[in-house]
Structure 1
Amino acid sequence: MGKDGFRCVECNEKAPELHRDYSNGILKITICESCQKPVDKYIEYDPVIILIDAILCKTQAFRHILFNTSLNIQWKLCVFCLLCEAYLRWSLLHGTEQSSDPADIIRYTKEWEFYGMFGLAALELSAFCVAVLLFLMVVVGGLQGATLDLRLLLRALLLSCYGKVLLIPAVIWEHDHSPLCLGLIKMFVLTSNSQAIRVILNSSRRLSLLAVCVGLLSETCVAQASEKLLWSAQDILTFD
């Protein structure tokens, strides 16, 4: 982070440093000039505590992660979550049916179907992120005249999708795909997305929720269009 690249987790004011390193390993946490509180209390916290606060969608924890750390695992996390989501969709499509013949052509067909599910999941996520960014560019950048850091917003959106890791238990216990459970996971991810946007822009909750709703609408439209396209392709192949 460069100078003034940090933020106070309490009041969101910029800060030149999080702590001052004295000799003999003595560290002193910087006090915010605006709110007179520690700029970032989380630098002394255990990562587990930070994770719990992030799961609880606390604003301070999001500011710590998005502004005061150089965490750059968003792409790896994105690919991992997409793999879990693709496998979940693929397993729901085929259930528990298996081929007894290792050389059966159906087994390889199913493998390509998994890759297709991964592509669809990636396409839907891309539609969500693009719609959110375009909406914020129009509303915040165009109407309000504020500058947007699109790279930081994209990083925040991808990191805030960490809730999709909860799909791992659904992948492990593949016979317990509860629609209610999957719906709750989706709602949690959208809530985290909304909180991340609110923290980055320091905006109202209404704006962040509206941006997430626009993204969800775009994602839903892409999903439905992809499903219709797949059904049309299957009908053509069956007719031939």
Structure 2
Amino acid sequence: MSPATDASDLNGDGFRCVNCGRRIGKLFVQYSPGNIRLMKCDNCKAVADPYIECEFMIIFIDLILHKPKAFRHLLYNVLNLEKIDIKGISLKSGLMNFILDAYRVSLLIRSKGSRDSSRSSLEFTWTCLKVFLNVLIGNLIFVTVLWIGIRVLLRLNYHICRYREILLAVLVSSYFKMFFLAMMVWDFPFASIFIVDVFVLSSNTVAIRVLTQLMTSACTVLCLCAHSAKFLASHWLLHLL
């Protein structure tokens, strides 16, 4: 945990400075429509969140570059748990991740089997059931390993380790899965699936590091274990079913 950030400061919702992670009451003061003044952080004396005045594409590029400031802006100041419908966003993000994971598994199944279009409806139904079970069990194992690991690393601190924040951070930081949508339209090498997996792993690592203030090495090992458990479970089920 960063020495500049107290453990008590990690508890609770609210806006955060994207530079040091400290809580801040206001991000800006609005004098009139289109006329605002960005607030400075009392701790680091820098502008608390300069991303407020940035275009979406600039923020998205910084997220792709894995800049912690962009992740703090997204997780704390955009997805503020006091201001948004956390259940609605979590359900929509979870459904999107589930669908993209299902497409990923279907690509793996297709690469191992034939592409005969004359398959029976029973075989098609069985394939859909395999995909559903694979994605469901794989994600349950992933979330379980991740949750247990964070609880252990944070010494079972119930105030810091909050399930909804961790779940939302993982779902949102898995945005690299959207590249599977491009694979529905264009042909990509089979290795592209695992390249996307690596980017998702690294993005999850940055998000959890920003959320928990744990060391980068600890977050990397934690996410690697969770993704490895999901990967092994998925491939075991592919051969079992």
- The TM-score range, normalised by the shorter chain, is 0.7 to 0.9
Q: Look up the match of 1:155.
A: 168
In structure 2, the residue matched to 1:238 is: none
Residue 217 of structure 2: aligned partner: 206
TM-score scaled by length of structure 2: 0.81
Aligned pair in 2 of structure 1 residues 159, 95: CA closer, same or farther (>3 Å)?
A: farther
In structure 2, what residue type is equivalent to 1:79?
L
Kindly tell me: are residues 94 and 7 of structure 1, through their superposed partners in 2, closer, same or farther at Cα, counting changes over 3 Å?
Answer: same
Q: Specify the alignment match of 1:17 in structure 2.
A: 26
How far residue 9 of structure 1 moved from its aligned partner, in angstroms, is 0.4
Query: 1:78 touches 1:161 (CA, 8 Å); kept in 2?
Result: no
Deviations 1:175-202 (A, max 9, x none): x352321221110000001001100011
Give the letter for the 2:225 counterpart: V
Question: Which residue identity does 2:233 align to in structure 1?
Answer: V
Q: How does 1:220-239 map to 2 (within 5 A)?
A: 220-230=231-241
Question: Quick one: structure 1 residues 213 and 25, their matched pair in 2 at CA, closer, same or farther if it must change by over 3 Å?
Answer: closer
Which residue, out of 116, 132, 137, partners 2:130?
Answer: 116
Once the two structures are superposed, the pairs formed by residues 65-214 of structure 1 within 5 Å of their partners are 65-70=74-79, 73-91=89-107, 92=110, 93-99=112-118, 106-142=120-156, 147-173=160-186, 176-214=187-225
- Bigger Rg, structure 1 or 2: 1
Provide the secondary structure at the position in 2 that maps to 1:68: helix
Q: Which has the higher helix share?
A: 1
Question: What percent identity do the matched residue pairs reach?
Answer: 27
Q: Which has the higher contact order (CA 8 A, sep 6+)?
A: 2
Offset of residue 155 of structure 1: 0.7
Contact 1:86/1:118, CA 8 A, preserved across alignment: yes
| Contact 2:15 2:27 (C-alpha < 8 Å) held by counterparts | yes
Q: In structure 1, how many angstroms separate the alpha carbons of the residues matched to 2:13 and 2:158?
A: 22
TM-score calculated relative to the size of structure 1? 0.81
Q: 1:164 to 1:108 in 2, by over 3 A?
A: same
Q: Which moved more, 1:147-156 or 1:193-202?
A: 147-156
Q: Could you say what secondary structure the match of 1:20 adopts?
A: strand
> Structure 2: where are the runs of 5+ without partners?
1-11
Asked whether 1:62 is paired with 2:81, we answer: no
Structure 2 distance, partners of 1:217, 1:127, is 10
Cα distance between partner residues in 1 of 2:114 and 2:99: 17
